[in-house]
Structure 1
Amino acid sequence: MPSVSRFRARPLLAAVFALGLLGAPAAGGTAAAAADDAVELTPATVDLFASPREPVLHDDDSELQIDVLVGNPGEQPLPETAVEVTLDPRPLETIDDLDGVFPEHPIELADAQIGATAAETDQRVTVTVPRDRLPFTSATESGVYLLRVALGAEADVTVPLVWQGAASTGRAGASAEAPSVRLGTIVPIVLPSDIFTLPTRSQLEELTPGWSDLLDEARAAQATLAIDPRVIAGIRAYGDEAPEPARQFLARLEASTLSSFLLQFADADPSAQADLGFTALMQPTSLDFVTRFGSFSADDDTGDDTDAGETPGSSAGEQGGDDADPPASDDATNTGDGTSPGDEPASQGGDAGPTEGDQSDGEPVPTQQTLEQLLSWDATAAVAWPAEGSADQGTLELLRLANIDAFVLDSDNIDRASGGPRVSLEQGSALITDAALADAARTALSAPNEVQRAAGVSRLSAHLLLAAQNGSEDLVLGLDRGAVGDAEDPALLVEQLRALDWVAPTGIADLDEGEALLRGSDTLEERRELLRAAVGRESSVSELGAVLVHPEYLSGYQRARLLELFATRHAAPGVDFDEVASRYRERDAELLEGVRAITTERMQLVGATTRVPVQLHNSLPFEAVVDVQVVPASAALAVQEPRFASVAVPAEGNERVLVPVHSRLSSGEPGLVVTVAATSGDLTVFTGTLPISIRSGVETIALVVLGALASLLLGFGIWRSVRRRRRASALARSGTAGGEADDSGQRAGARVTAPAE
């Protein structure tokens, strides 16, 4: 798509040659100056994106603003250069012209200087074109024109400019003669990509305002809703504990008169399942690992008004299970594939789900809602929506076995079509969405920067205007499910399209019928094999539920994760599924560790009898209860208490068992064989040897040395005490004798001196 294409720089000679062919003058106005500019620029990699700031230029607008984004992913800086904007004055005639060749003699509109771009950075500049520089007057008919934005000789990009003249369609409303195209829209109600099962309560609070706005715009556009059952189950799973705004939104969704259908749980792709040879669509097995955090009134019927006899999710809902990744805690953020926040996808919230300690009122509340009740939905139709371009006869056959004979297919999946978008196929009926519109809408929703997103809106507007001017048949826009889930404000795009004067929002049921033939396709081989490997590991992971307090939690959790891995969002263009599958595989590896003894460095025994600590680690996201058996690896040790029954290990936590051990040798390198098994005895999850070093002789020597030191200290202390007492007694006696001598001396002296006086 030219408006958002990423252009790589050309070598210097090629750049000058291309510039000469196009005849595009440089910012200075001469070809020579352009060549000089090209010489100054260092051949390097350049990313160039451009788009009108507003998708439509109206007759009463005073200027045209074009945003230009220059990216430098290279290691060398890009020098200062000029950005030049030119216009093809001829209006485009067909939709194919959007990707046409820019003419040799365009009209120069404006230029701007852009400073040097440092390595691995980008910068944005706005080029403003005054109204009087544009070749449009109030009498100019509405139309689509091509703009060319060039970065010196390094890169260029063409973008559509939609002009809406007062002569044909005034801003106050379209005239009776103004052409328009009837547009049906499919609006997904889905979860963002960082939630791998069900949202936490705090996430529901964050998501509900956006869902509510999207529902409002969908109603105004007479759109059809495609609902991920995780949204419904995610709110119902908490019962009375669900945030009030979320419960209100669900009530509005249930009461809506818009046509709707359920996606497979987590929007799992039925085409991928068919390519793997499945004979039935995958189903969820349990949501108990999430509903344990909810509370349900005695008369609570999950809040839906459906008849008790309805099947869960209608036929459309049966396509997929309920992919509910429990929230690790109410405030945790579900990220990564069940890994922790630190490593993008463990247990901080990701796929790991809520821990046993995260409970509503001190104790987990027993589940009172069945899977059928959580997924029950009064959908107006049973419809399947495979990944774009992926459906084939095998896909439709698998869906037929699930009692689904209505499909949403994109135009790239159709070999020949005529008439309206509602067509009949041998296997049932289909609604054909326009692939080009969907691609532009995907860019408008999910492009990484504002300039590219605006380019997507501009291309959508241009496409629809050209369709209206050419008397196009009815069109259907199926908004990309992954892009809608991750977009900041998807309702804004629906509003922008609905506001176009040449677009007539129309309900799907009112669109024209036509004819079409299915074009065969299949899932990419690499994606298919990665999915096959993940399916093969599911039973191994679920088997470990035998060590849990609630074994059904793990099987339900793992199936939910698997359904999400099958999501159509992972089949979208530009998605690195190998990376997605790698994160999933890493999480599987963590789960497959189950409950195990942690073996660290060799532990030393310096006494004949001691209590050896055995550390148990639970890699599972739910509380485990296991039996631990410890036996000596050799006759050098004797274990006095070899079995520890029903040891509780917290979810993704540790527990220590103290094992009394008696050593029979003064030294050696024996070990303890630790076995961890389910309390039922049916499954052993770990067997390993804990290395031990015996140094009991060291204890004897140490005791002798300590005893000798103690005896010496005691004898020395006694000797010092005796000596101190003797010295004190001697001083006391000598002090007394000296005092008496002094007194007698004084008396004698007195007698001697008295006669002399």
Structure 2
Amino acid sequence: MAGAAVAAFAVLTSAPLAANATVSAAAEPTAQTVASTVDGVALRVAPTAATTIAPEAPVTLEVEVVNATTEPIPAGTLRLVRSDDTIDDPAEIDTWLTQASGPDGADAIDGTIVAEIDSATLAPGAVDVVSVTLPPETVDDIDDSPVLGFGAELLVDGALVATSAEVFANSALPVASPTALAITYPLTVPASSTGRLSADDLATWTSPFGLLSRQLDAVAGRSVTVAIDPRIIASIRALGSSAPATAVAWLERLAGIPNEIFPLAYADADVAAQAQLGIPALLAPTGFSDVLDAANFAAPTEGDDTATEGDDAGGDGGATASPTPTPTAPAPDALPTTEELLAWPYTRTDIAWPADDTIATGDLAYLGAAGLTTSILSPGNVAPGSQWANAASTVDGASAVVADSRLTAPLREATSALSDTEWRAAVGQLSAELALIDAADVRPTALLATIARGTGTQSERLEATLDELAANPWATSASFTDVVGAPPVSRTLIDEPETQQRIANVERIIRTGENITAFATVLEDPTILSDPTRRDALALLDVAWIADRTAWDAAVGEWLVAQRRTLGAVSVVPSSPINVVSSETGVPTTILNALPYPVTVVVDVAPSNGRLIVEDQATVTIAPESRTTTTVPVAAGIGSGSVTLTVSLTSVDGVPIGSPVSIPANVQADWEGLGAAIIGIIVVVFFGVGVWRNIRRLRRKRAEAAANGEAVEPAAAAEVESGAETDAATSTGPDVVDADPAIEEQSAETDEPRAERRDD
């Protein structure tokens, strides 16, 4: 029966839990939540009150057993094991540590058994800690090893259930020269889709035990370089006098810390993804004018001190009114600019810190062109090189500092430890790695270790870890400037582009943001819409989202849907068919504005054929959350029939707004007006031809008279002109022809004697 129980339990522990409790992203797990956040059975071994081991004294260890399954662990045996041989090489540490149980089950640890103790039945979700004290002679044969290995095995009815292997530095050995170590810490807030932190969140996070307060408490004055999200600073400043008092005090504390500090991208946006998309420039906030309240930036002035006397309820005397500060109206330029909200006396501003293992070939050159000339790279993004090489590196032709993998891993484990035993085991491994460097022949100038982003880091553990490192004899503090300035080593980049799905989503976010910026030109002040959109887009690019892909996909989807609603908020309302029966008319068009701001658009109508002629566009302003009908003037062309009118909107800057709408129209041509125009043209042509004929005849006669040397008498000229007028008046149409030239000549000869007789 017992054997069957053990077999069933072994099967259970080899598979993940069916369900785990959910931990809030903003909360820091405690020891009580460990059973809901760890799968299977876990063992950890560490000294009871230290992080190193002194072989000359009794060795007191504690073994922590965690049951994160849904079944109880039967009573069994805990077996303590130590390493048989000296550990003085990184490969030997790796060999010892890899004996710990993993997803594929547990194997017996290859070492010397130094103790066996009984373990009690452990309920589901329970944690048990067992202490064991070993005599000094337990490690006599390896007391000259710089690193000592200890492990634990849990057996139930003789079956191995779980194992653990840890390493600790030998504190009895002298220290030759401590290693210069710099640490960088990201001071950020939990991932969200909001590009500006609210006053309520800031009040909570900057309260005495709030997230930001605990982070600042952990790093202030300690040997750690702070990389801060500028969103925190700008969000507090943008509130002006309405900012929570705790947030203002927190910002003042931040300004007073002696730590080196540099900015992350706004909202810790993913710079690697932007580089891989090759956008023209890294995204940054475009402004905060939409959230700046002039009343919060008015300079208060003291009112006149006036005393008013009056009786109180009991009629005992008067009271003096306290002067009330009166805010003065700010000058037009009193509101802080974007640059002023983001400004901070950073130690340096040329550092890029992309997410772990996200840099691809060419990304560092892109970041360098953007002014971020030095990048912090995770150890997995470069090929392994010589052991304990300087952090300063030349990678893919660019300057970089590479975090040391052997120091960063235990450092991150220590700062996220859920129990004291787990923390001491992680710090013990960190000290063991530093002790190996001290014993090595080749020594680095300066190394770098980084704290992980996200909410896994425990502020209390971070503070304790930094204090432990400050007292560690194998390490000495180095500044980030020391690390960057050390002689660089050449390293080979491992191409680690982000997933195609993530890049595609990032591209959608950026493209949608650009569309909103263009669409915002319908507003008198486009920044009311474009500025918050840019900030929220940056928040969605926060690298903290990478650890929770499902939540990020959901947040991106919701944001994209909201932006599509915004882009469709100004539109043409579809209309029923219209009839055009006169030469001059207009096309009535109804425009909907669902935005909470007034918008101005240009309405354009394009006919499908020449039966209608659009004479002009119409510019109209629509009140917030309303609709307006305007008329676009059109004129009927020639012919009757159907016309499809395509109505479209643009901003005054020519940006297309919404989708065009087609409206059918039936045109009845204005034939009466057309006929009158034709008759008028015929009459004008008829009279014009008659006048032209008579003028031509008169000119010919004058030319003939001039050729014969004779002058035309005024009376004769008048007669000729009178005859021309008569001819024009009696002409019957275009078929009239000129008189015969011979007759005209005879008439001229007859007229000449008459003139002579009058002279006589």
Which of 421, 425, 441 is matched with 1:458 structurally?
A: 425
Larger radius of gyration: 2
Equivalent in the alignment of 1:146: 150
For the 8 Å contact 1:237–1:294, the answer to whether it is kept is: no
SS at match of 1:585: helix
Equivalent in the alignment of 1:592: 564
Any gaps of 5 or more consecutive residues in structure 2? 17-39, 100-108, 301-326, 572-589, 604-618, 629-646, 663-760
Q: C-alpha distance in 2, partners of 1:535/1:254?
A: 33
Which of 71, 75, 84 is matched with 2:68 structurally?
A: 71
User: What percentage of aligned pairs have identical amino acids?
Assistant: 21
Taking a change above 3 Å as real, the CA distance of residues 644 and 100 of structure 1, as seen in their structure-2 partners, is closer
CA deviation profile, 1:479-517 (whole Å, cap 9, x unmatched): 122247786764344334434443322223345534122
Equivalent in the alignment of 1:430: 400
Q: C-alpha distance in 2, partners of 1:425/1:559?
A: 32
For the 8 Å contact 2:570–2:657, the answer to whether it is kept is: no
Which deviates more from structure 2 when the two are superposed, residues 153-162 or residues 272-281? 153-162
Q: C-alpha distance in 1, partners of 2:456/2:123?
A: 36
Equivalent in the alignment of 1:87: 80
Equivalent in the alignment of 2:529: 554
Q: C-alpha distance in 1, partners of 2:68/2:204?
A: 33
Q: C-alpha distance in 1, partners of 2:660/2:135?
A: 80
Equivalent in the alignment of 2:195: 197
- Work out whether 1:56 is the aligned partner of 2:50: yes
Taking a change above 3 Å as real, the CA distance of residues 431 and 42 of structure 1, as seen in their structure-2 partners, is closer
- Alignment length (residue pairs): 529
Equivalent in the alignment of 2:11: 43
Query: What is the one-letter code of the residue matched to 1:146?
Result: F
1:2-151 alignment to 2 at 5 Å? Answer: 38-39=6-7, 41=9, 43-44=11-12, 45=15, 47-52=40-45, 56=50, 63-72=60-69, 78=71, 80-82=73-75, 84-90=77-83, 92-93=87-88, 94=90, 95-101=93-99, 102-103=109-110, 105-115=112-122, 117=124, 123-132=125-134, 143-150=147-154
Q: C-alpha distance in 1, partners of 2:405/2:521?
A: 47
For the 8 Å contact 2:239–2:292, the answer to whether it is kept is: yes
Q: C-alpha distance in 2, partners of 1:525/1:646?
A: 44
- Work out whether 1:390 is the aligned partner of 2:363: no
For the 8 Å contact 1:180–1:469, the answer to whether it is kept is: no
CA deviation profile, 1:261-290 (whole Å, cap 9, x unmatched): 221112223221121122322222122233
Taking a change above 3 Å as real, the CA distance of residues 129 and 241 of structure 1, as seen in their structure-2 partners, is same
For the 8 Å contact 1:226–1:260, the answer to whether it is kept is: yes
Which deviates more from structure 2 when the two are superposed, residues 438-447 or residues 392-401? 438-447
Q: C-alpha distance in 2, partners of 1:484/1:79?
A: 28
Taking a change above 3 Å as real, the CA distance of residues 424 and 686 of structure 1, as seen in their structure-2 partners, is closer
SS at match of 2:527: helix
Any gaps of 5 or more consecutive residues in structure 1? 1-32, 118-122, 169-175, 300-359, 599-613, 630-642, 650-654, 658-674, 690-757
Taking a change above 3 Å as real, the CA distance of residues 243 and 530 of structure 1, as seen in their structure-2 partners, is same
Equivalent in the alignment of 1:243: 244
Equivalent in the alignment of 1:468: 435
Taking a change above 3 Å as real, the CA distance of residues 284 and 114 of structure 1, as seen in their structure-2 partners, is same
CA deviation profile, 1:588-630 (whole Å, cap 9, x unmatched): 20232137699xxxxxxxxxxxxxxx9x996x7x656699x9x
Q: C-alpha distance in 2, partners of 1:685/1:483?
A: 41
CA deviation profile, 1:295-352 (whole Å, cap 9, x unmatched): 22569xxxxxxxxxxxxxxxxxxxxxxxxxxxxxxxxxxxxxxxxxxxxxxxxxxxxx
- Work out whether 1:506 is the aligned partner of 2:506: no
What is the Cα deviation at residue 225 of structure 1?
1.9
What is the Cα deviation at residue 62 of structure 1?
8.8
Query: What is the one-letter code of the residue matched to 2:480?
Result: I
CA deviation profile, 1:208-265 (whole Å, cap 9, x unmatched): 3554554455354322221221122122212232233433333343344433222111
SS at match of 2:126: strand
Which deviates more from structure 2 when the two are superposed, residues 503-512 or residues 530-539? 503-512
For the 8 Å contact 2:45–2:152, the answer to whether it is kept is: no
What is the Cα deviation at residue 185 of structure 1?
0.7
SS at match of 2:554: helix
Q: C-alpha distance in 2, partners of 1:205/1:491?
A: 23
For the 8 Å contact 1:626–1:648, the answer to whether it is kept is: no
- Work out whether 1:268 is the aligned partner of 2:269: yes
CA deviation profile, 1:359-385 (whole Å, cap 9, x unmatched): x9999x998111111122332321111
Q: C-alpha distance in 2, partners of 1:111/1:548?
A: 75
Taking a change above 3 Å as real, the CA distance of residues 504 and 688 of structure 1, as seen in their structure-2 partners, is same
Give the TM-score of the pair, scaled to structure 1. Answer: 0.59
Taking a change above 3 Å as real, the CA distance of residues 441 and 503 of structure 1, as seen in their structure-2 partners, is same
Which of 491, 494, 497 is matched with 1:517 structurally?
A: 491
Which deviates more from structure 2 when the two are superposed, residues 148-157 or residues 227-236? 148-157
Taking a change above 3 Å as real, the CA distance of residues 86 and 503 of structure 1, as seen in their structure-2 partners, is farther
Q: C-alpha distance in 2, partners of 1:83/1:597?
A: 72
Equivalent in the alignment of 1:377: 344
- Work out whether 1:408 is the aligned partner of 2:409: no
For the 8 Å contact 2:221–2:259, the answer to whether it is kept is: no
1:223-372 alignment to 2 at 5 Å? Answer: 223-292=224-293, 295-297=296-298, 368-372=335-339
Q: C-alpha distance in 2, partners of 1:485/1:205?
A: 21
Q: C-alpha distance in 2, partners of 1:583/1:253?
A: 31
Give the TM-score of the pair, scaled to structure 2. Answer: 0.59
Q: C-alpha distance in 1, partners of 2:240/2:79?
A: 59
Equivalent in the alignment of 2:509: 534
Equivalent in the alignment of 1:326: none
SS at match of 2:11: coil
Equivalent in the alignment of 1:158: 164
Q: C-alpha distance in 2, partners of 1:390/1:679?
A: 40
Equivalent in the alignment of 1:320: none
Taking a change above 3 Å as real, the CA distance of residues 404 and 489 of structure 1, as seen in their structure-2 partners, is same
Q: C-alpha distance in 2, partners of 1:542/1:55?
A: 59
Taking a change above 3 Å as real, the CA distance of residues 579 and 215 of structure 1, as seen in their structure-2 partners, is closer
Query: What is the one-letter code of the residue matched to 1:196?
Result: T
For the 8 Å contact 2:59–2:135, the answer to whether it is kept is: no
Query: What is the one-letter code of the residue matched to 2:355?
Result: A
Query: What is the one-letter code of the residue matched to 1:536?
Result: R
Query: What is the one-letter code of the residue matched to 1:570?
Result: W
Taking a change above 3 Å as real, the CA distance of residues 252 and 136 of structure 1, as seen in their structure-2 partners, is farther
Q: C-alpha distance in 1, partners of 2:62/2:593?
A: 60
For the 8 Å contact 2:597–2:623, the answer to whether it is kept is: no
Q: C-alpha distance in 2, partners of 1:83/1:534?
A: 55
Query: What is the one-letter code of the residue matched to 1:206?
Result: T
Equivalent in the alignment of 1:563: 538
For the 8 Å contact 1:187–1:478, the answer to whether it is kept is: yes
Q: C-alpha distance in 2, partners of 1:419/1:63?
A: 35
